[in-house]
Amino acid sequence: MRVRKRLKTIDAIKGWSLSGGYLVYTAIFWGYPFVWLVILALSKWNYFTPRKFIWFDNFIELFQDEMFWRVFFNTFNFMLYFIPMVLGLSLLFALGLKRVKLFRTFFILAFLVANVSSGVAYSIIFQKLFAINGPLNGLTRAIFGITIPWFSSPQLATLSIAIMVTWKFIGYYGLILFSGLQAIPESLYEAAELDGAGKMTKFFRITLPLINPSIVMVLVLSLTLTFGIFTEPFLITGGGPMRTTYTFQMLIYTTAFQKINPGYASTLAIVVALLSYGCVLLTRKLVEREVEIV
Amino acid sequence: MKKVPTIILYVFLFAASILWIYPYVWMLLSSFKPTNEIYSGFLPSQFTLDNYRFILEAADKMERPFIQALGNSIFISVTVTLGVLVSSALVGFALSRLNFKGKNAIFNFIIFQMIFPGFLFIVPLYVLIKNLGLIDTRTALILPSLVSAWGVFMFTQSFRAVPNEYLEAARMDGANDLWIITKVLVPLTSSTVSIVGLFTFIGIWDNFMWPLIVVSDYSKMPLSVLLASFNMQYGSYLGPVLAGSVLQTMPMVLIFLVFRKYFLQGISMSLK
């Protein structure tokens, strides 16, 4: 009895000193910034002169800020290109993978290697590949005699960045969908075939409903990603042309570190996080279905 | 309904794979070409190392010390990765294998922490780093990432799954906690350890926004930021820019190829 009690005390001491270290670190590098985030969002400040509480003025200003709405519109514009493209293509990739038996690992690696490309390096590569005098335009000029201003025309620039990000994420999202497909028992398809179901019926009545969790996962990941985009437009277009590729992250960055307005930037960060959650919740509500494979 | 012949599917997948790898191949081949040939022709007519020589020697005189930046990136990424692994193992051990009051509360708090996206903390974290007087230091790039809630979460989860018999057997032989962590728990959960290590390394190596904010001294920059600034100012030096991109990309791709098994496991694990 006594030994057990002593062991318990020793466990408690060890446990608390190890997790105590974690808690102290977290208090400094997570808790402290967290509190500051809230304080800053309610303040006007320029890092140097004394801070001034202005309560919700930042939030009120934000909803009247033309730039905020511009970026808001840009973000949804980007989603309109990006999400159907990335979801459709990664679904195709997953379905293709499911059908092939040979070289499967090669295909997976070929697509997944894009996912480990460095943000800076791949932005530079696509900037050069899609440049007016770059290889891609060299090709279209030789075949169709046209030059496409990928990054310098307002609508195209958003599409071009969506294409880049799609290139990067198809492998990852495709694998998520692929493992969803793998979980569907073959017997379901066989039973459906006996009942005379065609290809379309099988796809829409069995495949799509049963990979619903994977689809929701891909949607949630790509939505969160959309709100976090920074490197690509920052390096390639600088937010242009005509501010059409300006993202929320760029707005937070320039507000905090170029316009020296950390209060407003923190307000922006909070609103962007809430928007991102809102989109995720809405998507789950609209798309998520209970799935059970018996 | 006719099935698409499998052979067409293979042709299509091979074509797509080549298209997907093409940007890498183009980057690699172009980095060995003289600059005036980069936009014309696919294979280099002559193989040259000039671009690499330029980036490793001449760029130094243009205030863009690439070798230094490469060293910084390696140092920062390795330090953070080791820090995350050690701290996650220790805290994960406490939360999974020790009995004490409040450990469930701590674990729940860690899950709560993971809900908040990183970009929320960038501005206030900058204020903290500034107050600590760490602007323009490598410490500013290391310290805020040394401990990771996600790492602790992953380690706790997988340590929990290790059967108790292994630990009891080791204790019988007189093993202490450190021995149990390094010789029993870590080897038995090697896939989690590799996943946390790999994702941390790549995340730090590739991090761009944070070092862009806290470091403006060229000699302290990691490769990602130095390369970006070189591209912005000297974008017309196409060959050297691409050589720099190869330098920045290759470690990540090599690590990916060597540890591909764990990457695939990591992806399937994030699904659960």
Residues B191-220: tens digit of each pLDDT: 889 989 999 999 999 999 999 999 999 999
CB contact under 8 A, B98 and A265: no
Whose CA is closest to B206, among A116, A232, A251?
A: A116
SS3 category, A150: coil
Using the Cβ of B120 and the Cβ atoms of chain A, whether some distance falls under 8 Å is answered with: yes
Q: Return the pLDDT at B270.
A: 58
Whose CA is closest to B140, among B200, B72, B43, B199?
A: B72
Do B230 and B243 meet the contact criterion of CB atoms below 8 Å apart?
no
Determine the Cα–Cα distance for residues B180 and A9; give it in Å rounded to an integer. 19
Of B27, B205, B224, the CB nearest to A125: B27
User: Per-residue confidence at B4, pLDDT binned at 50, 70, 90?
Assistant: low
Q: Quick one: A64-287 is in which CATH superfamily?
A: MetI-like (1.10.3720.10)
Q: A182 to each of A94, A207, B89, B178, how far by Cα in Å?
A: 10, 10, 33, 40
What's the domain count of chain B?
1
Closest CA of chain A from B170, distance in Å: 17
Mean pLDDT of chain B: 90
| Chain B residues touching A227 at Cβ < 8 A | 117
φ, ψ at B17 (rounded to 5°): -60, -40
Determine the Cα–Cα distance for residues A187 and A175; give it in Å rounded to an integer. 22
Q: Strands (DSSP E) along chain A, which ranges?
A: 43-44, 52-53
> B interface mutation test: which of A44, A46, A116 has the most B CBs within 10 A?
A116
Q: Specify the residue for token string 């495709």.
A: A174
Determine the Cα–Cα distance for residues A136 and A139; give it in Å rounded to an integer. 5
Does the residue B7 lie in any domain?
Answer: no
**B220-251: pLDDT as tens digits:** 999 999 999 999 888 888 889 999 999 999 99
Q: How high is the ipTM of this complex?
A: 0.90
Using the Cβ of A287 and the Cβ atoms of chain B, whether some distance falls under 8 Å is answered with: no
Q: Chain A residue with minimal CA distance to B2?
A: A199
Geometric angle at alpha carbon B157, from B154 and B159, rounded to 5°: 105
User: Per-residue confidence at B272, pLDDT binned at 50, 70, 90?
Assistant: very low
Chain A residues 221-280 with a CB less than 8 Å from chain B: 224, 227-228, 230-231, 235, 249, 252-253, 256-257, 262, 265-266, 269-270, 272-273, 276
Q: Return the pLDDT at A250.
A: 96
Closest CA of chain A from B259, distance in Å: 11
Q: Return the pLDDT at A71.
A: 96
Asked if the model's pLDDT at residue B131 lies above 80, the reply is yes
Closest CA of chain B from A142, distance in Å: 12
Q: Return the pLDDT at A62.
A: 92
Determine the Cα–Cα distance for residues A184 and A213; give it in Å rounded to an integer. 12
| Chain A residues touching B13 at Cβ < 8 A | 96-97, 100, 103, 107
Does the residue B208 lie in any domain?
Answer: yes
Whose CA is closest to A117, among A165, A174, A178?
A: A165
Q: Return the pLDDT at A293.
A: 62
Does the residue B50 lie in any domain?
Answer: no
Spacing of C-alpha A265 from chain mean position: 20
Task: Give the DSSP letter of residue B219.
Answer: G
Farthest CA pair distance, chain A: 88
User: Per-residue confidence at B3, pLDDT binned at 50, 70, 90?
Assistant: low
Handedness of CA B267, B264, A165, B64 (dihedral sign): positive
Determine the Cα–Cα distance for residues A11 and A16; give it in Å rounded to an integer. 8
CB contact under 8 A, B252 and A116: yes
Handedness of CA B29, A149, A120, B34 (dihedral sign): positive
Q: Which residues of A172-210 are buried (b: 16+ CB within 10 A; e: fewer)?
A: bbbbbbbbbbeebeeebeeeeeeeebeeeebeeebbeeb
Do A85 and A162 meet the contact criterion of CB atoms below 8 Å apart?
yes
Does the residue B205 lie in any domain?
Answer: yes
Q: What count of residues does chain B have? A: 272
Q: B14 to each of A95, B23, B28, how far by Cα in Å?
A: 15, 15, 20
Closest CA of chain A from B241, distance in Å: 8
Q: Return the pLDDT at A134.
A: 84
Q: What's the whole-number mean pLDDT along residues B14-37? A: 90
Q: Which residues constitute the domain of residue B150?
A: 67-238+246-269
CATH number at residue B226: 1.10.3720.10
Handedness of CA A36, A40, A46, A50 (dihedral sign): negative
Using the Cβ of B70 and the Cβ atoms of chain A, whether some distance falls under 8 Å is answered with: no
Using the Cβ of A198 and the Cβ atoms of chain B, whether some distance falls under 8 Å is answered with: yes
Chain A residues 118-137 with a CB less than 8 Å from chain B: 118-122, 124-126, 128-129, 133-135
Using the Cβ of B233 and the Cβ atoms of chain A, whether some distance falls under 8 Å is answered with: no
Q: Chain B residue with minimal CA distance to A121?
A: B245
Q: Which residues of B81-110 are buried (b: 16+ CB within 10 A; e: fewer)?
A: bebbbebbbbbbbbbbbbebeebeebbeeb
Chain A residues 59-88 with a CB less than 8 Å from chain B: none
User: Per-residue confidence at B1, pLDDT binned at 50, 70, 90?
Assistant: very low
Quote the pTM value: 0.91
CB contact under 8 A, A15 and B232: no
Does the residue B159 lie in any domain?
Answer: yes
CB contact under 8 A, A36 and B202: no
Strand duo A52-53 + A43-44: pairing: antiparallel
Walk along chain A (294 residues) in steps of 10 and give the mean pLDDT of each run: 75 91 96 95 91 91 94 96 96 93 90 90 91 86 88 90 95 92 89 88 90 94 95 91 93 95 95 96 90 65
Asked if the model's pLDDT at residue B271 lies above 60, the reply is no
Does the residue B114 lie in any domain?
Answer: yes
Using the Cβ of A203 and the Cβ atoms of chain B, whether some distance falls under 8 Å is answered with: no
Cis-peptide into B117, omega within 30 deg: no
